[in-house]
Structure 1
Amino acid sequence: MHPKTVGSKENRISVVIIAQNDEQRIPDAVASCRSFADEIVVVDGGSEDGTVATAEALGCRVYENAWPGYAKQRQFGENQASYDWIFVIDTDEVVDTKLAAALIKLKPELTDPTAAYSVYRIGDFLGRWLDKGEYLVRLYNRRAYKISDSLVHEMPDVETSKIIKLNGVLWHYGFRSINDHVNRFNKYTDLEAQTALRVRKPFRIVNLLFRPPARFVQKYFLHGLYRKGVAGFAVAIFWMMYEFLACFKHYELTSARKRLDQHQPSSARKAADPEKKGETSYAVQ
């Protein structure tokens, strides 16, 4: 799909979306990108609803790829794109008109592949938009940067000095229900703990004791969630829970690995040592 091409192939933009069971939300995400996208690539991880058919009907280039994890799925989508400039958006996100205009204006100036562009994302909760958002790199050149191979919070690996902020907002319609929120936090904290284990980050009791309340203070007071009533209080509590679960799950995995190491023969420990073999392999019960 090439709604509007600007200049040469070098400054055209491929929008890449990873999707799964989101036929209701993906039309808004796709529509919000039409004005600046030269193509829209959708990678479906095995939807059981009409996500694939909906994306195809919207004119997207659709690929089906069994879910390999967040980073690898984004990397797969990046590799299917026709153009080097990649704009990443999720099915539950919408580009506002100001951000779309900024991207349209930017396209003829996309001459430096080492530059990367961040957008300001604001999320919702219980029907209320949260005032405090975050800047995330969403436009980058795949010749210069790749999605980091992390289990969670996968982002292009870009130096801060190379990031340019764009005007406008990326609206994140991330809230579906309390139950969904809890399930996603549980899944993400699993991945956080597994990542910490994989990079051999040591567990520290001070993190378990102080990070959860510190996160609550940050979100509720410093970020002004106290102004959002019950919704704001709930978000701050959820973030405190997130920190506690991520830290405690890290403790659980670290303890299990220590027990496993203690029961392994020394020869087996040496064979499993990633520093000796150049790769990491953990068997945690």
Structure 2
Amino acid sequence: MPLPLAATLICRNEEACIGACLQSLADCAEIIVVDSGSTDRTLAIVQDFAERGFPIVLYRRDWPGYAKQKQFALEQARENWVLSIDADEWLDADLRAALPGLLEAPAEVGGWRLPRVLTLYGETAPPPASVRPDPILRLVRREGARFDEDVLVHEGLVVEGEIRDVARGLLRHERGLRLDAQMPKEILYARLKAEQRIAAGERPSVLKLVFNPPLYFFRIFVMRRVFLCGAPGFIHAMTGAIYSFMAEALHFQMAREKRAK
């Protein structure tokens, strides 16, 4: 019997990774896929899984932004529990085995943070077990859960009730991009972050500009123990620091442009 669980994911041109994602969702009663104009084999792969009996419901929808697209996907779910997952992520066997117990959580539990690990560029296996996963809220009760649509990037779920951490299994993030492919994405995320701050009326900070990038690097490289991954781990942490610098610097520049108008 399928689990009383709906999985929701948004996609566009994800042919390289969406198959592994869908395969890991085989236990779900619903799989909501929202595509925003794929031109590669993404839709063909989704259709193949649907023909194999996966409970997929596909929507085609223009791109309104990350949070709004994920909120739309969430609103299509019918099961009491919803798993929000990205197309380049998948559940490992231990996490899939833990799902039935997570769905039987007491009524006061509104959501679960899943331990997510990134397979770094050039690697074929996840980081060593001693590298600390990044806990991320992805499994929630549908009632009382929503995405904050004012958040333009790194959108997150907001839930009612207690949030607990999953102790077993991993949410695997498999898109390890080479730096020249990753940096345009980081620049986009930094611009959206700066736009979000400007819209909220936040003023740029010299302290954040100077100290946030090295602190970001320290949090990833040292506190999460990514230094155990060698050079790929250093590159990953430094990429995060560059993103942090770009977000703060763009905030300064956009604020100056706004004042000049």
Compute the TM-score of the two structures, normalised by the length of structure 2.
0.89
Deviation at 1:17, TM superposition (A): 0.9
Count of aligned positions: 249
Deviations 1:141-188 (A, max 9, x none): 2321211111011111136x7111222100101213222211110111
How far the C-alpha of 1:217 sits from its partner, in A, is 2.6
TM-score, normalised relative to structure 1: 0.82
2:31 pairs with 1:30: no
- Structure 2 matches for 1:159-198, cutoff 5 A? 162-166=162-166, 167-198=168-199
**Which of 70, 73, 87 does residue 74 from structure 1 map onto?**
70
In the alignment, which residue of structure 2 is the partner of 1:9?
none
| Equivalent in the alignment of 1:94 | 90
Distance, in Å, in 1 between the alignment partners of 2:59 and 2:19 is 17
Paired residue type of 2:170 = V
Query: 1:282 maps to what in 2?
Result: none
Residue in structure 1 matched with residue 214 of structure 2 by the alignment? 213
Structure 1: stretches of 5+ with no match in the other structure: 7-11, 261-285
> Aligned runs of 1:103-182 on 2, under 5 Å?
103-107=99-103, 109=104, 112=107, 115-128=110-123, 129-130=126-127, 131-149=131-149, 150-158=151-159, 162-166=162-166, 167-182=168-183
After TM superposition, the structure 1 stretch with the greater mean CA deviation from structure 2, 58-67 or 112-121, is 112-121
Which amino acid in 2 is paired with 1:147? F
Structure 1 position 13, deviation (Å): 1.0
Bigger shift: residues 230-239 or 185-194: 230-239
Higher relative contact order (CA 8 A, sep 6+): 2
List aligned pairs for 1:235-254, cutoff 5 A: 235-254=236-255
More strand by share: 2
Radius of gyration: which is bigger? 1
| Equivalent AA in structure 1 for residue 117 of structure 2 | I
Cα root mean square deviation, aligned: 1.8
* Larger displacement relative to structure 2 (48-57 or 91-100): 48-57
Q: Supply the AA of the counterpart residue of 1:28.
A: A
Partners of 1:228 and 1:111 in 2: how far apart?
Answer: 38
Give 1:218's aligned amino acid: R
Percent of matched pairs sharing the same residue: 28
Distance (Å, rounded) in 2 between the aligned partners of 1:103 and 1:115: 15
Q: Quick check: 1:19–1:91 contact (8 Å CA) kept in 2?
A: yes
AA of the residue aligned to 2:251? H
| Residue segments in structure 2 that go unaligned for 5+ positions in a row | 51-55
